[in-house]
Amino acid sequence: MNIGASGAAASMGIAYGSGAVKTKRIALVICAIGVMLGAALGGGEVVKTLGSKIIPQDVINVNISLIILASATISLFIANLAAIPLSTSEVTVGAIVGVGIAFKKVYIGSLLTIVMYWIFIPIIAFFLAYFADKLIKKMEHKLTFLKEKRWAKVLALLVIATGFMEALSAGMNNVANSVGPLVAAGLIHVNSGIFIGGLFVALGALLLGGRVIETNGKKITELSLLQGSAVSGLGATLVIIASLFGIPVPQTQITTCSILGIGMSSKGWEIWEKDVINRLLKVWFMSPFFSLVLSYNLVKLFMDFDLYSITAVLCVFVATVGFMSLIKPRNKKKPVFYKKPVTVEAVRRNIT
């Protein structure tokens, strides 16, 4: 359900932000349908990757599955409360790696390959969107009839269609994050897991996705209908290709970087001055490490108790927080006290 709340912004946020879909509720319903369909059509390959290609499958049992899912859920829930669209793939992979580190069993080659895709695919999405916006502006300048009202409806349908395509790609890639550990532990079959996971991801989009869709749709930059369709179409295509190869990719980062590419093309460097951009970048960077540390400590606490490891991690956490508080700039202004002006009557009263 937390995956649905984050995925909602990545799929239908553009259609809502550009005005093609007027209300959040309708946008979230379309998202839910797309997620269910995508999970049913092609979610199996990513399930295999998460279940056996990052850490050995024999490490994952019922208790480990619970730890992985709890770590990812807590990370996503915190991001959803902050209205930040977060990559479910990153927190899930981070949680799996935390377990692997605890048992000293991680497939480093596979992990580095996944991280490489995390870095390069959003960058590719940014530059594709940047140049696509340049092309869109030339088209709008030459094809002036696109600004007529009758064409606006056609463009709105195009944005909704590409948004639905992106929701479908979210089902193909992100539903696996919720059921991959369960399939690896032998608790559920791939097909039934994908169906149940898709159902609850869809419910999460409907019930919890409102705040996140607002952030991705309207608080980063304003988009025209053509720009919105370009962003959704690019994001969906990249995620679908990755899903077919079984690669868990950060869909929210891909979509948001596409939005940033459009914003950079339209408004230049001022797009980076928005506070919400800084929050997004910080949360994206920290979230895999947060879920990694969380899952590692849960393993050490409940399954392979090691007081020294837990103490070391807590000390690093306390030291980091303390160090950040020391280097945090202090902008507090000194209070200014204003004196009342002295009047002749006041002087007379004092003399009296």
DSSP string, 251-319: HHHHHHHHHHHHHHHHHGGGGGGSHHHHHHHHHHHHHHHHHHHHHHHHHHHHTS--HHHHHHHHHHHHH
pTM over 0.85: no
**Dist CA 228 CA 18 (whole Å):** 6
Axis-axis angle for helices 88-102, 108-142 (nearest 10): 170
pLDDT confidence of residue 345: 65
Residue 320 inside a domain? The answer is no
pLDDT confidence of residue 348: 65
For residues 36, 37, 40, 42, the Cα torsion angle rounded to the nearest 10 degrees is -120
Average pLDDT over residues 174-192: 86
Residue 164 inside a domain? The answer is yes
Average pLDDT over residues 237-243: 90
Average pLDDT over residues 145-151: 72
Rounded-to-5 percentages of helix, strand, coil across the chain: 80, 0, 20
pLDDT confidence of residue 232: 82
Axis-axis angle for helices 251-267, 210-218 (nearest 10): 30
Residue 325 inside a domain? The answer is no
How many domains does the chain fold into? 1
How far is the first Cα of the chain from the last one, in angstroms, to the nearest whole number?
76
Average pLDDT over residues 339-347: 59
- Taking Cα atoms as reference points, which of 126, 131, 149, 127 lies closest to residue 225? 149
Range of the domain at 242: 2-304
Give the DSSP H or E segment for 78. helix 62-81
CB 230 within 8 A of CB 129: yes
pLDDT confidence of residue 131: 92
Average pLDDT over residues 304-319: 76
pLDDT confidence of residue 322: 73
Q: 68: how many CB neighbours lie within 10 A of its CB?
A: 33
**Dist CA 1 CA 23 (whole Å):** 21
Average pLDDT of the residues of the chain: 80
**Dist CA 271 CA 264 (whole Å):** 6
Residue 309 inside a domain? The answer is no
Residue 314 inside a domain? The answer is no
**Dist CA 88 CA 74 (whole Å):** 11
Residue 338 inside a domain? The answer is no
